[in-house]
Amino acid sequence: MHTMEVYLDNSATTRPYPEVIQEMQRIMAEEYGNASSLHRRGGRAERIMSSSRQVLAEILGVKSGEIIFTSGGTESNNLAIQGIARRYRRRGNHLITTAIEHSSVLQPLQQLEKEGFEVTYLLPDSKGVIEPQKVAEALTPRTVLVSIMHVNNEIGSVQPISQISSIIKNENPEVIFHVDAVQSFSKLPVSPEEQGIDALSLSAHKFHGPKGIGALYLREGVLLNPLFWGGGHERGLRPGTENTPAAAGMALAARLSFNGRKEKIRRLYSFKEKIISSIEREHPWARLNGPREEGAPHIFNISFPGLKGEIILHALEEHSIYVSTGSACHSDSKEPSHVLKALNVDKDSLEGAVRFSLSFLNTEEEIDYAADRINSVIAELKKFQTITS
């Protein structure tokens, strides 16, 4: 029996690097001080926070004072969207986003709609990309915030962030531009300075760091209303005793992910192409939802019309291959994916969609094994479907 496990659900979460686990264990055991305490133990914990902040700031090319630690991508998105919209309410009540955002962007926006904000939801083209011109057309003198994700977590489409920012800033430099970079950080270049981003969300567990920690980059001068009130930590924007082990784990995971990054990304593209072309050869009736080479290196979504995504998922699980039917955050609901719906994917393809997401830790051997098993599992299910229909 083959015992290889192939984890291809890295958009949901990734396996932490062993070095990250070790470092977090060490900090929990040895550096348990509260970063706000005035004694030596507090000072040591504070230095862990500031050096972790510094690592992330350097990678992003920003100032360390512009990094706010949060509990993850969901909180960073909520803090940016609710915080900025409410802080600048006097400027206007119009917000712009896309129909294919993560629920941690869509849901806070829906809450804001209940408070009287108006939200424009831009639709992508058939490959899941937002045409920058659509942003230009949606801007009004009342627009205060535009929130657009960098890489889509279900289909891997990449938004033209720099072009969108230029359009926004040309039209009205006061409009604030937030980017959910949870799926792109370490896989594609992310630079707030070069891409004209005012606020940017990150989550550590998507790049082999711990769960429950993330960061919000907030450009100096951009203000927000906090979601929590408390002890004044993180410049009062996100109070709560600092999670020292997780902050250190996040910084270390970022550093390790950026080591030899070019080669790791090249490998991801070749793994993605290997699986897609192998399925294409064996099952030409399957269809790719979203982009191929133009997409992110690690996420792609394939529909097997006539089959059910969930059945494929469990059949692959029998071979220790782990995939997803869409966003893990929605996997307990039976609602078809709002992202695929926005691409006008037909009903059969919606039901037969499977998301594959790779990571820096996957190996060539795993990819060969997975491609082979995916094809045989699909062939089996197809045969069964033909007999029963």
Q: Which amino acid is at 271?
A: F
297 binds ligand PLP (CB under 6 A): no
Please select the residue that binds ligand PLP; options are 52, 82, 98, 153, rule is CB under 6 A. 153
Long-range interactions of 186-190: CB distance < 8 A, separation 24+: 186/254, 186/257, 186/258, 186/261, 187/151, 187/265, 187/268, 187/296, 187/297, 187/298, 188/150, 188/151, 188/158, 188/296, 188/297, 190/60, 190/150
For the bound state, the minimum distance from the C-beta of residue 211 to ligand PLP, rounded and expressed in Å, comes to 7
CA distance linking residue 156 with residue 357, whole number of Å = 9
Q: Which of 329, 331, 348, 385 is catalytic?
A: 329
Q: Is 329 marked active-site?
A: yes
Q: Residue 30 contacts by C-beta under 8 Å, 6 or more apart in sequence?
A: none
The CA-atom distances, in angstroms, between 93 and each of 79, 88, 148 are 17, 8, 17
Strand duo 143-147 + 6-7: pairing? unpaired
108 binds ligand PLP (CB under 6 A): no
Please select the residue that binds ligand PLP; options are 104, 289, 325, 337, rule is CB under 6 A. 104
CB of 144 closer than 8 Å to CB of 88: yes
Q: Which is nearer to ligand PLP, 6 or 179 (CB)?
A: 179
Window 324-343: residues binding ligand PLP (CB under 6 A): 329
Please select the residue that binds ligand PLP; options are 130, 155, 176, 182, rule is CB under 6 A. 182
Cα radius of gyration (the chain): 22
Q: What is the DSSP letter of 186?
A: T
238 binds ligand PLP (CB under 6 A): no
Residue 178 structure tokens: 């937030």
Number of residues that bind ligand PLP (CB under 6 A): 16
**Contact window for ligand PLP (CB under 6 A) among 92-100, 179-187, 268-276, 295-303:** 179-187
149 binds ligand PLP (CB under 6 A): yes
216 binds ligand PLP (CB under 6 A): no
CB of 271 closer than 8 Å to CB of 358: yes
Please select the residue that binds ligand PLP; options are 16, 33, 73, 124, rule is CB under 6 A. 73
For the bound state, the minimum distance from the C-beta of residue 326 to ligand PLP, rounded and expressed in Å, comes to 11
119 binds ligand PLP (CB under 6 A): no
Residues that bind ligand PLP (CB under 6 A): 11, 72-74, 77, 102, 104, 149, 153, 180, 182-183, 203, 205, 214, 329
Report, as residue numbers or ranges, the catalytic residues.
Answer: 329
